Structure 1
Amino acid sequence: MRHVWVDVSAGVAGDMLLGALLDAGASLDAVQRAVDAVVAGAVAVEVRTVTRAGMRATKADVRMLVDDPPHRDWRTVRAMLHGAALADRVRRDALAVFGRLADAEAHAHGIDAEDVHFHEVGALDSIADVVGVCAALDDLGVESLSAGEVALGSGTVRMAHGRIAVPGPAVVELSRGWRVRGDGPGELTTPTGMALVVTLAQACEDLPALTLETSGSGAGTRDTAGRPNLTRVLVGSRTGAAPTASGQTGVVLEANVDDLDPRLWPGVLAALLGAGAQDAWLAPIAMKKGRPAHVLTVLGTPETAPRLRSVVHAQTSTIGLRQTTVEKHALPRTWAPVDVDGRTVRIKVSHERGAVVRATPEFEDVAAAAAATGRPTVDVLAAAGAAAVAGGLVPGARVPSDDSGQEVSRPHQAHDHDHPHPGHDHAGQHDHDHAEEHP
């Protein structure tokens, strides 16, 4: 499993994380293409080498090519992402990050998330930061991500609504369930940076056991003596138990709900998955006095449990829930891409002792390929399954390996033989919801 651990001990902002991933080897062209898919011809992502307190790093800059309105609301940003020609994972991750930001801002201002105006966070450079980070992770082939304790800062900062204490209300809300500390004057972590970390990371943990492949450092604008203003990433293969491996500790949250409009349930489940739930589901029950109801069940980790509880209370009518610690046992898994009519469909390969146990097409990829090609979903599903078999992904077969004989997290591509292919955070520690960007 290719894993990224993010060192946020000096804080994090969107442009700093983007710079770190580009420094670690993510393709600038891939990032620019993804950004152009959302805001074509509006911004250029540029990189330069800088030093911060004597340490070399990459500074990611987003240069404006057009005039930009002062803010966009969540509906507008969401429509832009849905309408863009992005890889499915990049779109899903970017939507989740902005969704978390909208929820945090809504809580801070006491309004509905749909009514949130992102101020400068909805501006082109912040959209480029979020989409760029998601595209960089996809380009690096990252399958899991975790981060350490976050330095938030202290003092005060000027925002669009005036001067407030650090950490600001949005960062505080986003930090629920995460290990944080003050650790220095000024704003060290921005809302965009925090939203990227808590949305995309599966765990808050110290550096896990990795076979290190590469690393990268992303710089903020300020150069503070004695304190490198950097966000770092370490990229490698996990050598210990990964989040999906056997024998991991999990948390199950449950609530019985009998008074929620059933039309709201799909949004509740989507919000929970966007907040880091590993799974979320409903089961019909009959409660006291024969009232029909549902049991909402959410599977998460000890680290994600606090924010998942917050989502349940915010999105449903329940006033209480049950929490149980469980031990999860799951087969190791990896992904193998196959081609169906020119579209990539990932095959989830579960394995044990080096042998394939099951190979299943990822349904989201199947649905996206069906929509793009116009073929019935059932036909694409069958074609992807046939391509997996043709590529040797059958029970009992060896898990694909590279030339060195090591198991790989992205096995070689298997082709569908049945169907021919058709002919920023620019501030050192300031985000774009702040009027004062360069202290």
Structure 2
Amino acid sequence: MLLGALLDAGASLTAVQSAVDLVSGGTVRVQTREVTRGGLRALKAEVEPLVDDPPHRTWREVREMLERAGPGTRTAVAVFTALAEAEGRVHGMKPEDVHFHEVGALDAIADVVGCCVALADLDVSTVSAGPVALGSGSVRTTHGRLPVPVPAVAELARGWQVSAGGDGELATPTGLALLRTFARACEPLPPMVLESIGVGAGTRDPAGRANAVRVLVGAVEGVPAATRTASAEEYTPTESALLLEANVDDLDPRLWPGILTRLLAAGASDAWLVPIVMKKGRPAHTLNVLCPPGLAGALRDQIFRDTSTIGVRHSPRGKVALERLFADVTVGDTRIPVKVAHRDGLVVQVMPEFDDVAALARRQDRPERLVLLDAYAAASGAGLVVGAALPEKLRPEQ
């Protein structure tokens, strides 16, 4: 339905099919036709596998297929990562070992890749969406009959506004994974100059409801579309996030460094403490953990395990991250990695990796601050200067 809506809004079917061929080896075809749903015109995208009985695949196998297709499938990898983490969470297994069943079939891989390419082809730089209707009742799956929303949908919906909205299954794991990867926020329609509208049809045509997904594409009010240079590939993987928070007033403070380190190692985007004063003047800390939505459940469990809190708050956050890369510089006879944040071809931040700086300082028996200055000087000598153009050899391939 989402793929049909994006194609109806003007995305190129040729571009979608080319990307799908690159991933699937030409074993699946995307076709469209106009239909009516609830009396309204809509575009039905149909994905036809060209091989008999497409196999079930693990996330490891799906990721290998996508990575072989090149860097243009980065957003599709993020979608399947969210799916694998959600399925792994509900089934109690590692994401790499999750069998996607119908999601791992060629037609669903084409759905995900097709949506990612269609969004980029529309030159969309930011996405938001409203509350999602999940449905009600039960549905038959390969694991037997499950309540709606099925567990993976519920997991992917954490931090998003949802409602039942009607009978039957109204949202699937693939649909929620696409939305949570693309959308930066759950919000009303933002001010924009509307440019195109797409309506994608579902297979069923139930009475009383148009079984369709609609997308509205436009320019942010006051900003002409021609000035939007960022593609969906540059923004969508890092914009959707959840903030987990817990107030703790009875934990030995010597434990906090290890707790923060383990949260970061488990996949948190960031983790930090804020000193606060609670009732009766008790000193305490608020633990803050920023993370991708798909990791929220596991990190919440880790907070309960490693701290003394009895409650964790969560809230959705919009996040725009600068592109970053690592470059090695030489200090003495040692190579030090330097993190470089950049935007529009210009260097924005230059940060030598401090653990490597500290290790070199210990070996040389020198103060860390002097080795850090040497690392910045080496970075400057390599052309890594804030405000300067990103060196040609470090620029991503177009």
**Shared fold (TM-score greater than 0.5)?**
yes
* Matched residue type, 2:157: S
Aligned with 1:142 (options 121, 124, 131): 124
Asked if the contact 2:300/2:312 (under 8 Å) is kept, the reply is no
| 1:337-356 alignment runs, 5 A limit | 348-349=343-344
Per the TM alignment, residue 115 of structure 1 is displaced from its structure 2 partner at its CA by: 2.1
Structure number, greater radius of gyration: 2
- Structure with the higher helix share, 1 or 2: 2
Aligned with 1:318 (options 274, 294, 306): 306
| 1:17 maps onto 2:2 in alignment | yes
Correspondence for 2:92:
110
1:378-404 Cα shifts (integer Å, max 9, x gaps):
99987xx98789xxxxxxxxxxxxxxx
Correspondence for 2:201:
219
* Matched residue type, 2:70: A
* Matched residue type, 2:207: A
TM-score by length of 2: 0.65
Provide the secondary structure at the position in 2 that maps to 1:108.
helix
| Cα distance between partner residues in 2 of 1:221 and 1:200 | 23
| 1:153-232 alignment runs, 5 A limit | 153-232=135-214
| 1:280 maps onto 2:270 in alignment | yes
| Cα distance between partner residues in 2 of 1:324 and 1:24 | 34
Provide the secondary structure at the position in 2 that maps to 1:144.
coil
Q: How many residue pairs were aligned?
A: 311
Aligned with 2:32 (options 20, 38, 47): 47
Call closer, same or farther: CA 1:35–1:297 in 2, change over 3 Å.
Answer: farther
| 1:58 maps onto 2:40 in alignment | no
Asked if the contact 2:82/2:294 (under 8 Å) is kept, the reply is no
Per the TM alignment, residue 129 of structure 1 is displaced from its structure 2 partner at its CA by: 0.6
Call closer, same or farther: CA 1:183–1:38 in 2, change over 3 Å.
Answer: same
| Cα distance between partner residues in 1 of 2:112 and 2:41 | 23
Per the TM alignment, residue 158 of structure 1 is displaced from its structure 2 partner at its CA by: 0.8
Per the TM alignment, residue 309 of structure 1 is displaced from its structure 2 partner at its CA by: 4.4
| 1:89-104 alignment runs, 5 A limit | 90-91=73-74, 93-104=75-86
Per the TM alignment, residue 70 of structure 1 is displaced from its structure 2 partner at its CA by: 3.6
* Matched residue type, 1:174: L
TM-score by length of 1: 0.60
Correspondence for 1:123:
105
| Cα distance between partner residues in 2 of 1:128 and 1:178 | 26
* Matched residue type, 1:227: R
Provide the secondary structure at the position in 2 that maps to 1:48.
strand
1:4-57 Cα shifts (integer Å, max 9, x gaps):
xxxxxxxxxxxx001100111111111112111211111011111111111111
Per the TM alignment, residue 315 of structure 1 is displaced from its structure 2 partner at its CA by: 6.5
Asked if the contact 2:85/2:295 (under 8 Å) is kept, the reply is no
Call closer, same or farther: CA 1:361–1:39 in 2, change over 3 Å.
Answer: farther
Q: More relative contact order in 1 or in 2 (CA 8 Å, sep 6+)?
A: 1
Correspondence for 1:67:
52
| 1:216-255 alignment runs, 5 A limit | 216-239=198-221
| Cα distance between partner residues in 2 of 1:81 and 1:198 | 19
| Cα distance between partner residues in 1 of 2:153 and 2:32 | 27
Asked if the contact 1:257/1:296 (under 8 Å) is kept, the reply is no
Per mean C-alpha deviation after superposition, the further-off stretch among 162-171 and 19-28 is 162-171
* Matched residue type, 1:313: R
Per the TM alignment, residue 298 of structure 1 is displaced from its structure 2 partner at its CA by: 4.3
Measured on the aligned residues, the alpha-carbon RMSD in Å equals 4.4
| Cα distance between partner residues in 2 of 1:158 and 1:381 | 59
Per the TM alignment, residue 84 of structure 1 is displaced from its structure 2 partner at its CA by: 1.3
Asked if the contact 1:153/1:186 (under 8 Å) is kept, the reply is yes
Call closer, same or farther: CA 1:315–1:97 in 2, change over 3 Å.
Answer: farther
| 1:85 maps onto 2:70 in alignment | yes
Call closer, same or farther: CA 1:195–1:49 in 2, change over 3 Å.
Answer: same
Asked if the contact 2:159/2:314 (under 8 Å) is kept, the reply is no
Per mean C-alpha deviation after superposition, the further-off stretch among 103-112 and 146-155 is 103-112
| Cα distance between partner residues in 2 of 1:63 and 1:324 | 40
Correspondence for 1:31:
16
Call closer, same or farther: CA 1:111–1:21 in 2, change over 3 Å.
Answer: same
Unpaired runs of 5+ residues, structure 2, are: 224-234, 236-241, 249-254, 274-285, 324-340, 351-378
Correspondence for 1:268:
266
| Cα distance between partner residues in 2 of 1:183 and 1:324 | 23
Per the TM alignment, residue 253 of structure 1 is displaced from its structure 2 partner at its CA by: 5.2
Asked if the contact 1:333/1:348 (under 8 Å) is kept, the reply is no
Asked if the contact 2:243/2:288 (under 8 Å) is kept, the reply is no
| Cα distance between partner residues in 1 of 2:186 and 2:92 | 28
